[in-house]
Amino acid sequence: MKIVIVGAGAIGSLFGALLAKNNTVVLVGRAPHITAIQHNGLNINGKTHLHVKLSAVESVKDIPISPNLILLTVKSYDTETAIKQTLPLIRDETVVVSLQNGLDNIEKIEHIVDKDRIFAGVTTHGAIFSNPGVIRHTGKGKTILGELDGTRSKRLENIVRLFNEAGIETQVSDDVVKEIWAKAIINSSINPLTAFFNCKNGYLLENPLLHKIVEAISEESTNIAQAEGIKLTAPDMIQRTKEVIEDTASNYSSMLQSVQQRKKTEIDSMNGKLVTIGKQHRIDTSLNKILVELVTSLADG
Ligand SMILES: NC(=O)c1ccc[n+]([C@@H]2O[C@H](COP(=O)([O-])OP(=O)(O)OC[C@H]3O[C@@H](n4cnc5c(N)ncnc54)[C@H](OP(=O)(O)O)[C@@H]3O)[C@@H](O)[C@H]2O)c1
C-alpha cells in the first residue's frame, strides 16, 4: 500500500518506520528531522530497534506517490492546516486515518474532506523525539481503528491487517468514537495535573490529595461524555485512569514535556473541548475549566 504520514514527529515516525517494512511510505515533517532521514535514514530505539531508509519530505508538493492511506499524526492544534495541505493528494480510493489525541480532530478533518473517507484511531504506543532522525519507542501498546459509522468494512479490515503485518498490534472497533472519548477522559485526568505540578505520572496516585483530584476529574469528564451520548461509566473510567497511571508511573506526560520545551500543548482539544461540550449540555465543567486555566497560565508565564 502507498502511505503518506503527515506529521512525522514521534508517533508518526514510529508508525512510518514499522509500516515501511511492507509498504511504500513517505513521511512529511519538518527539518532538521526530515533532512537527517534523507541523509542517514530513520533510527528507532528503545522498545523497537530499526534502521529504515524511506522517503521523507518537508512539503506535500514533493510527495512522489498517490497514497491509498494518509495517516495524520500532527498535534491537534495543527490538524486543520495539515489536512488542508494534504487535499491535493486525495484520490477516489484515499482513506484518511487520524491517530491523534483530542476530541476535535475528526470534526476538523470532516470540514475539509468527505466524512466517508475518514477513519479514526487511538494508540497506546509511546514515542518521543530524541534527535533529528532518531525516535525513542518508550512503550509498546495497542492500536484501535474504526469507521466513524462503526461498520466493519473491507477497506478497514485491509488496513488493520496491514498494520498487524507491520508489527503494530491493531484491532477493529465498532465504536471508535467511544475509544477516542475514553482516551480523552484518561488524558484529561492525568496530563494537565502532571504539567502543572511538574511531576511524573505516578506521583498523581502517591499524593493523596492529587489521587482524589484525579478521581474527581475523571468523573466530571465522564459525565460530560455521557451527556454527549457516549456509553462510558465513571467507576470504570476512574479505574482505567488509575491503571494507566500505574502502567506509566515513571513517565513524564506529553503535556508536561511540551510545557518544559515551551511548546504549545493540546489542552484546548482535551480539557478545553470537554468544557465546551459540557457547557452545551449545561453540566458541571468546573474542574476541567480550572485545568485549562492552569495549563494556559503556564504557557503564558
Ligand atoms: N508521542 C506519543 O507517544 C503519542 C501516543 C499516542 C498519541 N499521540 C498523539 O499523536 C499526535 C502527535 O503526537 P507526537 O508526540 O508524535 O507529536 P510531535 O512529535 O510533535 O509530532 C508532530 C510533528 O508534526 C509536525 N508538523 C506539524 N504540522 C505539520 C505540517 N503541516 N506538515 C508536516 N509536519 C507538520 C510537527 O512539527 P513542529 O512541531 O515543528 O510544528 C512535529 O514534528 C498528538 O495528537 C498526540 O497526542 C502521541
Indicate which CATH number applies to the domain containing 203.
1.10.1040.10
The residue from 174, 209, 240 where one domain ends is 174
Q: Do 161 and 233 share a domain, yes or no?
A: no
What pLDDT score does 164 carry? 98
Separation of first and last alpha carbons in the chain: 46
The residue whose CA is least distant from atom 38 of ligand 1 is 30
Q: Do 170 and 183 share a domain, yes or no?
A: no
Residue to mutate (ligand 1; options 33, 37, 72, 75; most atoms within 8 A of CB):
75
pLDDT one-digit tens code per residue, 161-214: 999 999 999 999 999 999 999 999 999 999 999 999 999 999 999 999 999 999
Q: How far is CA 236 from CA 116, 124, 217, 219, in A?
A: 31, 18, 13, 10
Cα gap 78→183, rounded to integer Å: 19
Q: How far is CA 21 from CA 43, 100, 160, in A?
A: 14, 23, 15
Query: Which residues sit with their C-beta closer than 6 Å to ligand 1?
Result: 6-7, 9-12, 28-30, 73-76, 78, 81-82, 85, 99-102, 123, 125-127, 129, 254, 266
> Which residues are known to be catalytic?
183
Q: Do 189 and 140 share a domain, yes or no?
A: no
Q: Do 116 and 20 share a domain, yes or no?
A: yes
> For every one of its 301 residues, what pLDDT tens digit does the chain have, with 9 covering 90 and above?
999 999 999 999 999 999 999 999 999 999 999 999 999 999 999 999 999 999 999 999 999 899 999 999 999 999 999 999 999 999 999 999 999 999 999 999 999 999 999 999 999 999 999 999 999 999 999 999 999 999 999 999 999 999 999 999 999 999 999 999 999 999 999 999 999 999 999 999 999 999 999 999 999 999 999 999 999 999 999 999 999 999 999 999 999 999 999 999 999 999 999 999 999 999 999 999 999 999 999 977 6
Domain count along the chain: 2
Q: Do 99 and 146 share a domain, yes or no?
A: yes
Cα gap 157→153, rounded to integer Å: 6
The residue from 174, 195, 226 where one domain ends is 174
Q: Do 134 and 15 share a domain, yes or no?
A: yes
Q: Do 185 and 152 share a domain, yes or no?
A: no
Indicate which CATH number applies to the domain containing 103.
3.40.50.720
Q: Do 10 and 94 share a domain, yes or no?
A: yes
What pLDDT score does 301 carry? 66
Q: Do 214 and 260 share a domain, yes or no?
A: yes
Q: Domain range spanning residue 227? A: 178-300
Encode 241-294 in three state secondary structure: HHHHHHHCCCCCCHHHHHHHCCCCCCCHHHHHHHHHHHHHCCCCCHHHHHHHHH
- The dihedral through the CA atoms of 61, 62, 66, 67 has a sign that is negative
Q: Do 68 and 93 share a domain, yes or no?
A: yes
Q: Do 160 and 219 share a domain, yes or no?
A: no
The residue whose CA is least distant from atom 24 of ligand 1 is 7
Q: Do 250 and 265 share a domain, yes or no?
A: yes
Instruction: Answer whether 267's CB lies under 8 Å from 188's CB.
Output: no
| Å from CA of 51 to ligand 1 middle | 21
Instruction: Answer whether 76's CB lies under 8 Å from 266's CB.
Output: yes
| Å from CA of 281 to ligand 1 middle | 31
